[in-house]
Structure formats: structure tokens, C-alpha cells
Chain A
Amino acid sequence: MSEVPSLPMPMPMPAPDACSRPYWDGANQDVFRFQRCRACGRAQFYPRSLCAHCQGADLGWETAAGPGRVASFSVIHRAPLPAFASAVPYVLALIDLDEGVRFMCNVLNCDPATVRIGMRVRLCFQARPGSTQKVPQVEPAES
């Protein structure tokens, strides 16, 4: 161990671009926004300049209600970066929101050992120290 206390490493944070700004601005207002193609009707995550299903350019924004399920997950015991070392063990998960979009996040506010595929979860929005940007997360649906 170094005798000089090191400053806590900041977690990587998103740098919103023109395409993703509505999504990240939404997170700051505790809403999860996703795009739906007005031509083919398919929802997509993440925001793009076109529909990845039909390449149509007419995309509308919708807001997810909150509920979803764990499609898969892993409990991380070895952090990829020093910034996450103090968080282990933490849950990385793929979440299927009820509106039909899948995204990656952490499952918060639960014992990692209780997370299961198929588990019902709901959206929550996490503030992080040193950042004004909130990040979409989930927690178990039943509290």
C-alpha cells in the first residue's frame, strides 16, 4: 500500500452528444427516454440518428414507465478500473424494460446474491459524486 493517500478515482461518466442529449437530460429529470421509429414502430436503445431496424429517419421519443426484468447479470468481484474497486461485489445486468428495449446498468439497493434472471426491477436514477449527470439504474421492484 502506498503511504500517500490517493484521491478517489472518478467513475467514467457519459459525454452526451447531439443524438444522446435527450436521453441523458431525461436521466437528470428521472425519466428514461427511448426512441420509437414512426415508420416501422420498433423501439430502440440506444438513441441513434436512424432506425437500426428499417433505417428510417423519423424517430419519436417516448418515456419508459419504469418496470422491467433482468435478462441476464453478473456479479463483478474484480473491478475493471480502480474507480469501481470499492464497489465490489456489484451487479452488472442487462435489463429488458416492459416497453421492449434492453439496456445495461447496475442493480442497486439489494444483496447481489439475491439477483436472478427474470427478477422484476424498476428504474431509478443515480446521482454520482463529482458529477451533475445522473445515470439510469434499476432496483428490485418489490421493496
Chain B
Amino acid sequence: MGKKAIISGVHDTAVGALPESTCMSLHVEAALGALVDAGLKLSDIDGLLTAYSFTSPQLMLGGVFGEYVGLHPKVNASISMGGVTAGLMVHHAASLVKAGICRHVLCVTGDNRLTGMGERVQAALADVGHPQYEQPYGMSVPAAFAMAAQVYFHEGWLNGEHLAAVAVNQRVNAALHPQSHLKKPITMDDVRKSKVIASPLRMLDCCLVSDGGAAVVVSAAQTARDLPRRAVELLGIGEGHTHEHIFAAPSLVDFGCKESAATALAQAGLAHADIDSAHVYDCFTSTLLITLESMGFYGRGEAGPAALAGEFAIGGRFPVNTNGGLLSYGSSGAAGGMFHVVEAVRQLRGECAQRQVKDAEVALAHTLGGIFSGHCSIVMGRL
């Protein structure tokens, strides 16, 4: 391979209920934070990638943000692919720097969905259903994700205990992060007895709705020696896209993550066992377990028991979502996936204090959009 791409700076804003925040304030805070982290000035940025906002929908979010901060990039695009978007932004940024088109690409996300939308967010999410073939039936996003979980339950590959173990572990991790949205400890019983939202998923199986933002700077590797922080190299990135609507999914057992993970690992020249720290999209507890199995980190029916056995804990055999993930750290639209990217980078830099995975050298960040529809796997390592 020719040129290499690195992540030179990261930042995540406070998350939770931020009543003073706006889509633009979160973008600005995340972006400037990532620039400071990278030791760059705004004028060093020659590529800008943004996502989308529910609270403040824009036809050209990249144009709006560039104008607001006074940035005139050589390349500017907004990507709108739901939860997978953050991964796609990193993928496209890496392509731009590897092709020599840009030196430093700012990838910035953020939305004030909690205080800016309140209950309207559930209706907005239900809008993702097909207007003719799903919405007339009252499809909710949890119910759509439950279609895969129900098959795993039916086959005996997952059960409520497995899901609860994921929720409890991630709350434990979130409590170790100074910024996380929810830190109050929960028990297995709390999860199992929380109200059913869409069987078999309960309230504590579902991710949060938070205000928050996150940004990363993807740079050409030759700039690394000028940077203040230890850079992280993007070793392999893969995508997998199989459908949009869950009724059109080719399988309810395996999804595009199988291909995205295989591509990313092959590009990196690494195996599943080389991943020290995994940061995997967890809109629901079941989503995480199904994705881990479909990616090949666990055999069929093995991810749930692994969660119960404590393998995903920070000191466990396969640490997963050390910041608490979308379930407990925070979930702010496209920023939800970017939080995973940011945490993966921090693990590789050894900046995670109590959450630090010992000797983390290779990390995986995985984002997912739609109903298991689009996937992006990013394998990164210490430079």
C-alpha cells in the first residue's frame, strides 16, 4: 500500500442533557477540541466531512458548518447513512489523504437530540420505516431490531440473561468515564425487570438519547512527526451493505458486518484474535451480541455466554465498549458511532486511566446504520 492515514486528533463533548447546546454549538466544540488535540489550526484543515442533524435538519450541513466557523475547505461533503455514518466519514477521510487530495480532514458530528427533540425523536426514528410497506404497520426501530434478536432467542443462541449482562457491563464501564450520560449502577434484575419495549427487548436493552458531539481529524501519515500526540494508524477499513429495510434483509442471522470486518482485518493483515479492544455499535444489547457473532469474534450462540462470563469487561478476555457505549455513555445521532471511534483511539494512546485496556495495540471500531443495513469496520493500531 502507498500512503498511510492516521487519526491525529479526537474530541468528544460533554454528553447527556445539555439544554444550552445546539447542533452547531456541539459541532464547534467537538471540532475545535479535535484540532487542539491534534495540534492543528483550523486553517490546516483542507477537507471537511459532516453527517446530518435531526434537530436542525440542513440541506448542506457541511456548508453551514464551514460558514459558521470560517472554514473554506478544498473538499466538503455531508454523509447521511444513519448510525454507520461516523465510520463512513473516517473511511472517506482516509481515502482522501491516501489519494493525496487532502492532508488533514476534519470529521465532525453532533446533535442535541435529547433536549432539542424530546419525545419527537421516537417518531422521527420510526420515520426510517418504509412509507408504504413498514410504517402502516406501526414498526418501531426497537421492533425492527428485535426481528433478528427473536430468531437468536428462538434458536437458543441468546436469552434475556445474555442481554442483561451486556447492559450491566457497559454501565460499569460508563461509571469509569468522567463524561458519560448514565453512571448509576444497574443489576441484572433491573434489566430483566425493565418494561418491555418490543419483545424480547426491554427498556434497559435500548440505547440512550443524548445531546453530544464528537470529532476526529484524519491526516496523512507523513504529518505525524509534527503532531503532539501519539498518532493512531488506520490499518484497515471495510464496509458491508445488504439492504435498507429489515423485511428485505437477505438473512436475519448474518449481516453486512461479516463482510466489513473481514475486509478491514484482511487489509490490516490481522486476525480476529489480534483485536485488543473492541468498540462496537450497540443501539441495543442484542445488536452488539449479534454483530460480534456475525463478524466472527464468537461462534454461533457463544457471544451471549461470553458476556455472562464477563469476557467483555475491561480486564476480561475481550474488552468491549470500554466507555459504556450507546447504552450508557451516550447516543447522539451520528456522534454515537463517533464516540466509539474516539474511545478506540484513546485506548491505543493509553489515555483511558481506569478504563485502560492493558497493552492495547490494536482496536476495532464498528458502526452500523439502518436495521443492520450498513456496516463499517475500522481496524486501527499504534503508529
Chain A: residues with CB nearer than 8 A to chain B? 11-16, 20, 24, 45-46, 71-81, 83-84, 87, 90, 92, 94, 102-106, 116-118, 135
Given A79, A92, A104, A117, which contacts B133 in the complex, CB threshold below 8 Å?
A: A104
Indicate if the CB atoms of B147 and A79 lie closer than 8 Å.
no
Indicate if the CB atoms of B138 and A81 lie closer than 8 Å.
yes
Binds A, one of B51-59, B171-179, B195-203, B215-223: B195-203
Indicate if the CB atoms of A80 and B195 lie closer than 8 Å.
no
Residues of A within 8 A of B142 (CB): 74, 76, 78
B119's closest neighbor in chain A, by CB? A82
Given A13, A71, A77, A118, which contacts B199 in the complex, CB threshold below 8 Å?
A: A77
A77's closest neighbor in chain B, by CB? B196
Most A CB atoms within 10 A — which of B137, B196, B247?
B137
Given B126, B139, B154, which contacts A117 in the complex, CB threshold below 8 Å?
A: B154
CB distance from B252 to the nearest CB of A (A): 6
Chain B 98-140 against A: per-residue CB contact (8 Å), 1 yes, 0 no?
A: 0000000000000000000000001101100011111111111
Residues of A within 8 A of B144 (CB): 92
Provide the main secondary structure of the chain B interface: helix
CB distance from A42 to the nearest CB of B (A): 13
B123's closest neighbor in chain A, by CB? A81
Indicate if the CB atoms of A77 and B137 lie closer than 8 Å.
no
Using C-beta atoms within 8 Å of the partner chain, give the interface range for chain B.
35 or more
Residues of A within 8 A of B245 (CB): 104
CB distance from A58 to the nearest CB of B (A): 21
Chain B stretch 189-215: residues in CB contact (< 8 A) with chain A: 195-201
22 pairs, CB–CB < 8 Å, chain A vs chain B: A14-B131, A16-B132, A24-B132, A46-B133, A72-B151, A72-B154, A74-B143, A74-B201, A76-B143, A76-B198, A77-B198, A78-B140, A78-B198, A80-B138, A80-B139, A81-B123, A92-B139, A92-B143, A94-B247, A94-B252, A103-B247, A104-B246
Indicate if the CB atoms of B199 and A74 lie closer than 8 Å.
yes
| Contact A104/B247 with A15-B131, A72-B148, A76-B138 known, Cβ cut-off 8 Å | yes
Residues of A within 8 A of B143 (CB): 74, 76, 92
Indicate if the CB atoms of A77 and B138 lie closer than 8 Å.
no
